A and B are shown apart, each in its own frame.
Chain A
Amino acid sequence: MNTLITGKNITLGYEDQIVARNIDFSVSEGDYLCILGDNGAGKSTLVKAILNLHEPLSGELKFSFDRSKIGYLPQRSQIQRDFPSSVYEVVLSGCVNSLKGRFFYSKEDKKRAYENMDKMDIKRLEKQPFALLSGGQQQRVLLARALCAAKKVLLLDEPVAGLDSHTSSELYKTIDDLNNDGMTIIMVTHDVHPAINSASTILHLGKAFFFGAKDDYFSSSVGKRYLEESGHHD
């Protein structure tokens, strides 16, 4: 299996405060990695580090591909509510990482935007204002944008936050499909269901650290405690 991302002994934090230390993990092609952990365990900081928005205090983060080609799905709250923009404009902006020296989007970029709108089943919303869509639709639009940016890896930050359970399971199904088509998935989540149902590997941050295959995680003490705390019973 081709290794895409390797993290060795990473310590994350800000000037006067360490958020997480000694993180070791790796992501291989086709993986579905769930990043779990309590609030403040360093999940968002790790996301920022992977996206090159934050420099780890120490340790090594290596990429075997161009990290600007990670398709990033931010938390929806990051986007202004009343921003005037059509769905197409949002999706196309995902191609901004393939502009390089060019000023404008190419025909291929526009074609990719349409393909990804099609894949996310939002083509009929193409001309609709993004701000007026439902939460689930907005998330599909942002996922289509992430797909425009993604060559191999999608990084999803709490993708179902604020969505109802039906919309959430539809979105999880879409993400599973993408993973089955060969897209590598890294997902930060509070929800234990994708970790149980879809993940191949788990990275657990917090007082107890775990990185490894899903089955090993749920038979480990860290995993068992997490399952209990999240109120999940078999």
Chain B
Amino acid sequence: MIEMFSYSFMQRAILVGLLVSLCSSLLGVSLVLRRFSMIGDGLSHVGFGALAIATVFSFSPLIFTIPVVVIAAILILRINEKSKIGSDSAIALISSSSLAIGVMMISYVKGTNTDINNFLFGSLLAVGKNDAYFSIALSLVVLFSYILLYPRLYAVTFDPVFARSASIKADRYTTLLAILSALTIVLGMRMLGSLLISALIIFPCLSAKRVSSTYKGVTILSAAISLAAFMVGITISYQLGTPVGASIVIIHLLVFIILSLFSFIKENIQKKLLLNEQ
């Protein structure tokens, strides 16, 4: 098992993966609690489309994908606020259109299916040196903004109207969250797969919510679950040769089921204790 750390491509993958997991779990807390989970899903599909276009036209993947996904993030937020089509259907529209564009691009130009698989479900070998540098920079930005803006982010997440009445520019923080999520998704997408990356945003918060009822608790636990699930997932993937993104998501699913059971049993015991007292 130790040999898995001796290859430089694995070292890179683990470094990028841990940092992406940390960022996505922190951003996920705010997105999920504000009912914006669908944004993560929508953005990962846009990412797939952009990545396909970049590959076909031999653009640099990061340099082309980042602006496209960031613009999509801002667009989706605007749709969320203003659209007369329900925002969930609008996001679904954008998702499937991007997916279709991506698939058309790849199959028309290359005429094979192999690369589509890697794009959709990820590949460890896709992590380059640039990704490593970029993910270190990004995770520093996410981590610092998250910690420094924590009181404001909490206020905006818990009650955006109250926050705005206290002259906090709630929209700006939402835009910031969406942009940071877009960057995180682009970064994690090629390793973990564009269809699966949004799970890294949504699962940690949902699992943490099962067992913690304070905001701080949910935040810290989300980060811990996300880091642990990544390490277990990538180890399984390395040992059994399973796709890395899917392995990690399966671990997240297991954690979610176990913690749900745990909270269900705990609630029942508490109810029984209350009944006995009466």
Report A's interface with B, CB cutoff 8 A: 51-53, 67-68, 70, 72, 74, 78-80, 82-86, 89-90, 92-94, 96-97, 99, 103-105, 127, 129, 131-132, 145, 149
| Bound Cα distance A78, B161 (Å) | 8
Q: Provide the B161-197 mask, 1 if CB < 8 A to any CB of A, else 0.
A: 1111111100000000000000000000000000000
Residue picked from B165, B212, B217, most chain A C-beta under 10 Å: B165
Known pairs A83-B158, A103-B148; list 7 more (Cβ under 8 Å).
A53-B164, A78-B161, A86-B214, A89-B154, A96-B152, A96-B166, A96-B168
- With A96-B168, A97-B167: A86-B151 Cβ-Cβ less than 8 Å: no
Interchain Cβ contacts under 8 Å between A and B, 30 examples: A51-B165, A53-B161, A67-B167, A68-B167, A72-B162, A74-B159, A83-B33, A84-B33, A84-B213, A84-B215, A84-B218, A85-B213, A86-B213, A86-B214, A86-B216, A89-B158, A89-B214, A89-B215, A93-B151, A93-B154, A93-B155, A93-B158, A93-B159, A94-B166, A96-B151, A103-B148, A104-B151, A105-B151, A129-B214, A149-B166
**How many of B's residues come within 8 Å of A, CB to CB?**
27
Residues of chain B within 8 A of A104, CB atoms compared:
150-151
What residues of A have a CB within 8 angstroms of the CB of B140 in the complex?
none
Chain B residue with Cβ nearest A132: B213
**CB <8 Å contact, A145 and B167:** no
For the residues of A in contact with B, the DSSP-based class is mixed
B75 contacts chain A at the CB level, 8 A cutoff: no
The 5 closest A-B pairs by CB, nearest first: A129-B213, A97-B166, A68-B167, A51-B165, A86-B214
Q: Which residues of B contact A145 (CB under 8 A)?
A: 162
B12 at interface, CB cutoff 8 A: no
Compute how far the CA of A79 lies from the CA of B33 in the bound complex, rounded to whole angstroms.
11
Chain A residues positioned under 8 Å from B158 (CB to CB) = 79, 83, 85, 89-90, 93
Q: Does B149 contact A (CB under 8 A)?
A: yes
Q: How far is the CA of A84 from the CA of B213 in the complex (A)?
A: 5
